[in-house]
Chain A
Amino acid sequence: MSERPLTRLVLEKPCCDADLPGVDEGHARVALVGNPNVGKSTLFNVLTGARQRVGNWPGKTVSVARGTWRTPAGEMTLIDLPGTYSLLPDSPDEALTRDLLVDRGMDDRPDVVVLTLDCSNLARNLYLLAQVMETGVPIVVALTMVDIAESRGIRVDVGRFAELIGAPVVPVVPRQNRGLDALRDAVEGALAARRPPGEPDLGEDVEAVLAEVTAFLPADALLRYPERWLATALLTGETVPGVPDETGARARAAGAGLLAGDDTDDLDDLDDLEIVVAEQRYAWAHRLIAETVHRKGDVRATVSDRVDRALTSRWAGLPIFFLVMWGVFILTTKIAAPLQTGLQDLIDGPVSTGAAHALRGMSAPAWLSGLVLNGIIAGVGQLLSFVPLMAIMFVLLSVLEDSGYMARAAFVVDRLMRLIGLPGRAFLPLVVGFGCNVPALAGTRILSDRRHRLLTGLLIPFVSCSARLTVYVLVAGVFFGSQAGTVVFAMYVLSIVLVVGMGLLLRGTLFRGMSYEPLVLDLPPYRLPTLRVIGTQTWQKLWAFLRTASGLIVATVTAVWLLASVPAGGGQGGFGRTPIEHSLFGSTARVVAPAFEPAGFGDWHPSAALITGFVAKEAVVSTVAQTYSMGKPADEHRAGSLGPALRQTFERTSHGHKIPAVLAFMVFLLAYTPCMTTVAAQRAELGGRMTLFGIGMQLVVAWLLAVAVFQIGAMFL
């Protein structure tokens, strides 16, 4: 091992940002940077509490949480940047972190970076530290997972560590509030001093080349980027905006000697310069570890490893995985159902009655009580009834993610999901979709790649949710008698076929560029999730959902009520007293009906059901009943007098082929927009444009399938 110093301390250098424009006089900005799964977000949540908001970084598609960190000395803005293994940008997330650290042209750059390093897995974390040190940004190191490291006999000499990197180092255990005051002091100290950390030594040969490259760096680029980072980036072949290509080529040419000096013939391409530099960073990391880390004994097989032997094994892996998914499915359906019904009953019962009473007391006009009762209260009721479901989903997501099982699950089903071009993790949201599409969409957040999230989010509505089941059961009962069960089962099979088929179709068209990404997955050690972490995460996600979804849902429910209350074209009765058949809703259904003629159900009754089905599938049965001027059947699974009426309608519209017509109706119901809440959730997760595309795609698919089912079916039945 060489006698070279580990880092070159650069105390005399003035710090980069002090006199540059773009640094406002407001709160100091502190950014959290670190590998994924090192407890960075836990630290963020503990430091900011409820004072935080999550949103896209201005002009980027990267979601970043920002919060306020209150200290006795004042307030700081804390930015939780996406977890990353390096500053080489391969994804928009990583590019944002890199740009904020190196590009002085960026707004809202951090004044200090808190680098969270997982103490139980230092080598890989130090690799990132080396890169961040090269940017010259003042840093404070927060050592996390100290408890896990200790349990494995790993002890870090914190003082020596700080000395060697030229920056403060603070061990923290955020879950127990340990080390947080020391961290605060260190950050405040770093803010006051604005001192860059040391520069990691990359070995004699690389350092010589870096010195050579530094000599010809263009002066204007040095105003924008830190010198050492720029030299390293150009040497390793990165394209840096604002730096001419020739400079990059010259830097790489200067590095050619590093490859020639290699004694094996493994490295020959100039692309391999990146490897040479990476190896030197790792060599630096291992030298640093040798100086600061003491290991007691050699703990080879940890408890985690023993658990993994079962959970990821060839034989037990998949069965255990399906068992866990089944558990998630049961919890999001069976446990949530009574809560959901309870809330709905509360709204429909006491709340509505109370409000109606109050409105009568104020002798409110009919339109006002209609608006309040059937519009706003009904809409809020629908939204609230989803809250238990969403909360359960978010808790389960947190538990699976925090415990470390999610990473194993992704490994176990990876091959299966590759069939439709999605990584293993996408399995969970799709399974949850059978219960309800809304939490399933929220579940797409476990996917780190935006394109994977979009594709999964577009496929989820094809998963047949439990609300659709109520309609299948009623309709199949009316038309298929003892065969009803088989027909309902067939709908589920079709749902899976649709997901796979549409997945293949979208992957071959819109998502064509989605290359095969080999699986390389870090498995974090198993941990017991803490209530505090789960609670905060659940609350944040739930609140975000309520904020984005509420307006859309209440507005749609109100709109349907309005349409059903307004008499069409001078029909009988006044506002709110007209029979549904003669309302605007009825006439809208009549306008839509001809579109379904080729599918064999071109009549206003089924069309009206499909229109309310757009708002909520739960309302389909009662709408059908309403259109025949009957009450909602007491038992949804028994159609009562609704049966003959329905049979008659389909018999007429299908010209005697009522079986294929009713199958076409069910297929349409399966494939088109599940409900308004799903649309709202899609908008929250995928954005407005993709949501509109999704709605359009589903309507087209649903219509084509329905027409195909009827036309082909009518030849035989």
Chain B
Amino acid sequence: MTLRGCAVGSRLEVCRVTGGRRHRRRLIELGFVRGAVLSVIGRGTMGGLVLALGDSRIAVDSFTAETLLVKPAHV
């Protein structure tokens, strides 16, 4: 599933980053690599999400959320 529909409070594991090479590269630089665990901590206007990835807080728009394939984290 993609991150787009995920509810606030869910903990998820990154499976894959899709999208253009440049876009993928930016996400990977910020730590969105396979196996990384993130949680959705807020929801903004028009489908934007605020994520906690390790110690980082990262805001993404709905387009970016769509490019992040995730599964529920078991931790």
The verdict on A71 contacting chain B, using a C-beta distance below 8 Å, is no
The verdict on A121 contacting chain B, using a C-beta distance below 8 Å, is yes
Q: Which of A123, A415, A523 contacts B50 (CB 8 A)?
A: A523
The answer to whether B33 and A120 have CB atoms under 8 Å apart is no
The answer to whether A308 and B57 have CB atoms under 8 Å apart is yes
- Please name 13 further chain A to chain B contacts, defined as beta carbons within 8 Å, in addition to the given A152-B55, A266-B16, A414-B48, sorted by A numbering: A86-B25, A88-B29, A121-B54, A275-B34, A308-B50, A312-B59, A317-B44, A516-B63, A518-B23, A518-B61, A519-B59, A519-B64, A521-B58
Name the 3 nearest CB pairs between A and B, nearest first.
A519-B61, A85-B29, A411-B59
CA distance A127 to B26 in the complex (A): 12
- B60: chain A residues at CB < 8 Å are 518-521
The answer to whether B61 and A318 have CB atoms under 8 Å apart is no
Q: Give 14 pairs: A residue, B residue, CB < 8 Å, sorted on A.
A: A88-B29, A127-B29, A152-B55, A305-B52, A411-B44, A415-B45, A415-B61, A519-B48, A519-B61, A519-B64, A520-B30, A520-B60, A522-B57, A522-B58
Interface string of B43-72 (1 = CB under 8 A from A): 111101010101111111101100100000
- B29: chain A residues at CB < 8 Å are 85-86, 88, 124, 127, 278
| B69: nearest chain-A partner, CB-CB | A266
- Distance in angstroms from B11 CB to nearest chain A CB is 11
The verdict on A282 contacting chain B, using a C-beta distance below 8 Å, is yes
- B50: chain A residues at CB < 8 Å are 308, 312, 411, 523
The answer to whether B59 and A407 have CB atoms under 8 Å apart is yes
CA distance A69 to B54 in the complex (A): 35
CA distance A278 to B33 in the complex (A): 8
- A121: chain B residues at CB < 8 Å are 54-56
The verdict on A90 contacting chain B, using a C-beta distance below 8 Å, is yes
Q: Which of A122, A278, A305, A523 contacts B59 (CB 8 A)?
A: A523
The answer to whether B58 and A278 have CB atoms under 8 Å apart is no
- A278: chain B residues at CB < 8 Å are 28-29, 33
The answer to whether B45 and A318 have CB atoms under 8 Å apart is yes
- Beta-carbon contacts under 8 Å, B1-49 to A: 15-17, 19, 21-31, 33-36, 41-46, 48
CA distance A274 to B26 in the complex (A): 12
| A86: nearest chain-B partner, CB-CB | B29
CA distance A279 to B24 in the complex (A): 13
Q: Which of A85, A123, A274, A519 contacts B54 (CB 8 A)?
A: A123
The answer to whether B25 and A274 have CB atoms under 8 Å apart is yes
The verdict on A689 contacting chain B, using a C-beta distance below 8 Å, is no
The verdict on A713 contacting chain B, using a C-beta distance below 8 Å, is no
The answer to whether B30 and A308 have CB atoms under 8 Å apart is no
CA distance A131 to B54 in the complex (A): 20
Q: Which of A122, A271, A282 contacts B33 (CB 8 A)?
A: A282
- Distance in angstroms from B69 CB to nearest chain A CB is 9
| B15: nearest chain-A partner, CB-CB | A266
The verdict on A313 contacting chain B, using a C-beta distance below 8 Å, is yes
CA distance A155 to B19 in the complex (A): 37
Report the interface size for chain A: residues with CB under 8 A from the other chain: 44
Known: A518-B23, A520-B60. Is A123-B31 also a contact (CB below 8 A)?
Answer: yes
The answer to whether B58 and A279 have CB atoms under 8 Å apart is no
The answer to whether A275 and B55 have CB atoms under 8 Å apart is no
CA distance A411 to B30 in the complex (A): 17
CA distance A516 to B52 in the complex (A): 24
CA distance A301 to B41 in the complex (A): 9
Known: A411-B48, A519-B64. Is A309-B42 also a contact (CB below 8 A)?
Answer: yes
Task: Tell me which of A271, A412, A519 has the highest count of chain B C-beta atoms within 10 A of its own C-beta.
Answer: A519
- A312: chain B residues at CB < 8 Å are 42, 44, 48, 50, 59
| A88: nearest chain-B partner, CB-CB | B25
| A131: nearest chain-B partner, CB-CB | B29
- A282: chain B residues at CB < 8 Å are 31, 33, 36
- A122: chain B residues at CB < 8 Å are 55
- Distance in angstroms from A598 CB to nearest chain B CB is 44
The answer to whether A124 and B31 have CB atoms under 8 Å apart is yes
Interface residues of B (CB under 8 A from A): 15-17, 19, 21-31, 33-36, 41-46, 48, 50, 52, 54-61, 63-64, 67
The verdict on A314 contacting chain B, using a C-beta distance below 8 Å, is yes
Known: A85-B30, A124-B54, A525-B57. Is A518-B67 also a contact (CB below 8 A)?
Answer: yes
The verdict on A304 contacting chain B, using a C-beta distance below 8 Å, is yes
Q: Which of A85, A88, A266, A520 contacts B64 (CB 8 A)?
A: A520
- A518: chain B residues at CB < 8 Å are 19, 23, 60-61, 63-64, 67
- Distance in angstroms from A458 CB to nearest chain B CB is 25
- Distance in angstroms from A262 CB to nearest chain B CB is 10
Interface string of A70-95 (1 = CB under 8 A from B): 00000000000000011010100000
Known: A85-B30, A122-B55, A518-B67. Is A313-B42 also a contact (CB below 8 A)?
Answer: yes
CA distance A469 to B56 in the complex (A): 45
CA distance A305 to B50 in the complex (A): 10
The answer to whether A415 and B46 have CB atoms under 8 Å apart is yes
- Distance in angstroms from A679 CB to nearest chain B CB is 35
CA distance A624 to B45 in the complex (A): 49
Known: A305-B57, A522-B58. Is A127-B31 also a contact (CB below 8 A)?
Answer: yes
- Distance in angstroms from B29 CB to nearest chain A CB is 4
- B19: chain A residues at CB < 8 Å are 518
- B15: chain A residues at CB < 8 Å are 266
- B41: chain A residues at CB < 8 Å are 301, 305, 308-309
The answer to whether B44 and A412 have CB atoms under 8 Å apart is yes
Task: Tell me which of A121, A301, A521 has the highest count of chain B C-beta atoms within 10 A of its own C-beta.
Answer: A521
- A318: chain B residues at CB < 8 Å are 45
The answer to whether B55 and A414 have CB atoms under 8 Å apart is no
- A309: chain B residues at CB < 8 Å are 41-42
- A525: chain B residues at CB < 8 Å are 57
- Distance in angstroms from A326 CB to nearest chain B CB is 18
Known: A317-B45, A415-B45, A522-B30. Is A90-B56 also a contact (CB below 8 A)?
Answer: no
- Beta-carbon contacts under 8 Å, A267-293 to B: 271, 274-275, 278-279, 282
Known: A120-B55, A412-B45. Is A90-B33 also a contact (CB below 8 A)?
Answer: no
| A519: nearest chain-B partner, CB-CB | B61
- Distance in angstroms from A417 CB to nearest chain B CB is 12
- B36: chain A residues at CB < 8 Å are 282
| A278: nearest chain-B partner, CB-CB | B28
- A313: chain B residues at CB < 8 Å are 42-44
CA distance A414 to B59 in the complex (A): 11
| A522: nearest chain-B partner, CB-CB | B58
CA distance A516 to B22 in the complex (A): 12
The answer to whether A90 and B25 have CB atoms under 8 Å apart is yes
- Distance in angstroms from A83 CB to nearest chain B CB is 12
| B58: nearest chain-A partner, CB-CB | A522
CA distance A518 to B44 in the complex (A): 15
- Distance in angstroms from A225 CB to nearest chain B CB is 21
- B31: chain A residues at CB < 8 Å are 123-124, 127, 282
- Distance in angstroms from A146 CB to nearest chain B CB is 14
- A414: chain B residues at CB < 8 Å are 48, 61
CA distance A271 to B33 in the complex (A): 15
- B30: chain A residues at CB < 8 Å are 85, 124, 520, 522
- A308: chain B residues at CB < 8 Å are 41-42, 50, 57
- A90: chain B residues at CB < 8 Å are 22, 25-26
